[in-house]
Structure 1
Amino acid sequence: MTIGFITPEYPHINLKRSAGLGSSIKNLSKGLVSKGVKVYVFAVFQDENKTFNEDGITIISIARKGYGFLGWYLERKHIERQIKLAIKSNNIDILEAPDWTGITAFMNFKIPVVIRLHGSDAYFCNLENRKQKRKHFLFESNALKRADHIVSVSNFAAQLTKEIFKLKQDITTIYNGVNVSEFKPNNDLTVRGRLLYFGTIIRKKGVLELAQIFNHLIEQRPEASLILIGKDAKDVFENTSTLSLFKSLLSSEAKPKVEHIQEVAYTEIHNYIASAEVVVLPSFAEAFPMTWLEALAMEKPLISSNIGWAHELMVHDHTGYTINPNNHIEYANRIQELLEDKEKAKMFGLNGRKHVTKNFSTEIVLKKNIDFYNKAIKT
């Protein structure tokens, strides 16, 4: 079997910045290659045309052409032509693309196309109660309705997406997976009192709530510290830097205890996770976050949000705590509890790794994906 992934992001030095979507595609691609599947990654909207190989995966970077009038359509047709050439020359059996902004809208292929729901723009706008650009909705709707098959990374994302786009197609749920051999515990690096947030610095991930949570915590635990790892994003409501909004919310006591690191190589994130006593990810909008899986795999007690998808990944009071990010005091109290109760924190960490290994390890998720692709190719 030969599969091609169409994606706007993929973690590699030769490509533009990548986030959780790229990480999940890379994990799946590496797993498929280990099982003898040939994988091509079409990294679209890049800065240059380039083809290279890594981990047995052929990565084809397709540069943005920068068309003017009707650019949204012409760019897609340009991408379509490049992929069709690769399909023909490499006998690709099936294509997969994410739902975000409908990359495959208006494209036509003779092989099956799978759309994987990692969270569309419409999905996140719905969760954030903000208006979506009409063109993005049309692109995403077109791509979904053209797809031969739809798979989702969580039941919650599947159901909400179905409602938003009024889809009639069946949607299969296959959770994201994490390589538990790569993300493994290293408690020798743990720094006492350190909290870690990693991901884009953006409102929807609860960053502004985290500032206020940390203010409450620092009143009780002045020795605590917080590391934020991630690129700053412009706030959709205030039209300014989210990081600047975050800093403006910090108390004078909390401010010097926060460190922001803009970007860390994917190969180095393990060390930062290992250094944390507690990982805090109070997101309001996710589909099935890789960051949560990675933290749990490394035996870190995780305090997450309690929204939708969280209940499919976390087990409250077993792998950590799931709390409404708006409840700043309770969130801070739970952090304080885990910083003080070393045995409970250790137990949550052990439980988290066991839970991920049993349910979301690459090996388990990989078999489900291969079975899905084989069935899709035959139908």
Structure 2
Amino acid sequence: MHIAYLTPEYPHPKLGNSGGMGTSIKNLVTALVDQGHQVSLFVYGQKADEVFSENGVTFHLIRHIKYRFGGFYFYRKYIQRYLNKHLQEIDLIEAPDWTGITAFMNIRKPLVIRFHGSDTYFCHIEGRPQKKKNAFFEKQAVKNATAFIAPTTFAGTESMRLFNQPIEKLEVIHYGLELENFVNERPENFESKRLLNIGTLIRKKGVFQLIEMFNKLIKIHPDAQLYFIGADSYDVYTGKSSTWELMQEQMTPEAKTSIFYLGKIPYAEVKNEIIKAHVCVFPSLAETLGMVTIESMALQKAVVNTNIGWAQDLIAHGVDGFMHHPDDIDAYVNSIDLLFNDVEKSKRLGQQARKSVEQKFDINKLVHKNIAFYKRILTI
């Protein structure tokens, strides 16, 4: 087959920053090429048009165009024309739900939408109002889809319900990891009582709950440390430009001297930071899956994770990690305290976490599920 992906991000030096969505696409694309399939990437919002091939993948960089008015419509139609011009030999195209990029498009090939996390979904999960414009675009986009893929059961069923789509059109296929790139040769070596959180500093990641947890934890373990990795962000509730500054206001004096913000660092360095950690903590309030959770598990880390919906596909509580609701501050503190005091427990959880990831999130296994799904769509 020849599969195309429409995306605003992808990990590549020419394309700037990329998040979990881009990483998940890259892992799948690499596996598809290894299986002998052709892949084209159409990356919109770029500085200039460019076409090049690399490692068996054809890249189409689509420049961003500013319009005096109606850019939300005219840029989508521009992308549509570009796609249709290059889709002759392509069998199927996949696009994300985010921003409803395929709204108003008439694409001449079967369209699969993967639920990476729409604004509709996140506003619902976080209980905040959604801009009518965003809701309209995303609703229009899903109308054009032949079928849908979601990374977790919760994200899929909630998205299908919110968009009023029949559940029969949904397939749940987890994001996958290239596990050969996640090897921790000495899992017994870590920095004692070092906590790590990875992700954009934003409320939906549970960063304020995590500060509250650490304020309590530092009283029990004065030598504990907490590290944050990720870009700072605007806070939608207060209008402040820096969530990190708001987080600092919440820290007790004792906690403040033991909390470190590393900012956004290269991907290779993130893996090194995971390896150094004693416990990885992700009290997120809104995800579709949470790539950093399974990456930490793959590196044999003890993880204390959120327990909301999507997390049920990731962790078996007490077996390969711990899960609590982000607002249950004491439960997090108790689990971290247990892991700090019981190093063998930390090791056993990390070992089982790796086994779980190998079973459920190996891209070399999951690629076959994606291929089978694409082939089924092509027979409709």
TM-score of the two chains, using structure 2 as the length reference: 0.96
Residue in 1 aligned with 2:213?
213
Q: Deviation string for 1:233-264 (max 9, x for gaps)? A: 11111111211111111111111212212212
Whole-Å separation in 1 of the counterparts to 2:157 and 2:379: 26
Whole-Å separation in 1 of the counterparts to 2:273 and 2:20: 16
* Structure 2: stretches of 5+ with no match in the other structure: none
Residue in 2 aligned with 1:167?
165
Residue in 1 aligned with 2:301?
300
Residue in 1 aligned with 2:182?
183
* Structure 2 counterpart of 1:277, one-letter code: H
Q: Deviation string for 1:60-82 (max 9, x for gaps)? A: 22121011211000111111122
Matched-pair contact (CA < 8 Å) for 2:231–2:263: yes
Secondary structure in structure 1 of the residue aligned to 2:179: coil
Matched-pair contact (CA < 8 Å) for 1:7–1:97: yes
Residue in 1 aligned with 2:317?
316
Whole-Å separation in 1 of the counterparts to 2:329 and 2:183: 30
Matched-pair contact (CA < 8 Å) for 1:210–1:282: yes
* Structure 1 counterpart of 2:176, one-letter code: G
Residue in 1 aligned with 2:51?
51
Residue in 2 aligned with 1:26?
26
Cα distance change on mapping 1:258 and 1:48 into 2, 3 Å: farther
* Structure 1 counterpart of 2:252, one-letter code: S
* Structure 1 counterpart of 2:133, one-letter code: K
Whole-Å separation in 1 of the counterparts to 2:43 and 2:199: 21
- How far off its partner does 1:163 sit? 1.9
Residue in 2 aligned with 1:119?
117
Matched-pair contact (CA < 8 Å) for 1:19–1:199: no
Secondary structure in structure 2 of the residue aligned to 1:187: coil
For 1:255-266, what aligned pairs fall within 5 Å after superposition?
Answer: 255-266=256-267
- How far off its partner does 1:230 sit? 0.5
* Structure 1 counterpart of 2:207, one-letter code: V
Residue in 2 aligned with 1:147?
145
Matched-pair contact (CA < 8 Å) for 2:84–2:108: no
For 1:1-379, what aligned pairs fall within 5 Å after superposition?
Answer: 1-88=1-88, 91-168=89-166, 170=168, 171-187=170-186, 190-240=190-240, 241-379=242-380
% identical aligned pairs: 40
- How far off its partner does 1:36 sit? 0.8
* Structure 1: stretches of 5+ with no match in the other structure: none
Whole-Å separation in 1 of the counterparts to 2:147 and 2:211: 41
- How far off its partner does 1:59 sit? 2.2
Q: Deviation string for 1:66-120 (max 9, x for gaps)? A: 11211000111111122222223xx111100111111111111121110011111
Q: Deviation string for 1:154-196 (max 9, x for gaps)? A: 1111111122121125211111111211112243662222111
TM-score of the two chains, using structure 1 as the length reference: 0.96
* Structure 2 counterpart of 1:163, one-letter code: R
Aligned length: 377
Whole-Å separation in 1 of the counterparts to 2:228 and 2:298: 20
- How far off its partner does 1:268 sit? 3.0
Whole-Å separation in 2 of the counterparts to 1:183 and 1:160: 31
Secondary structure in structure 1 of the residue aligned to 2:228: strand
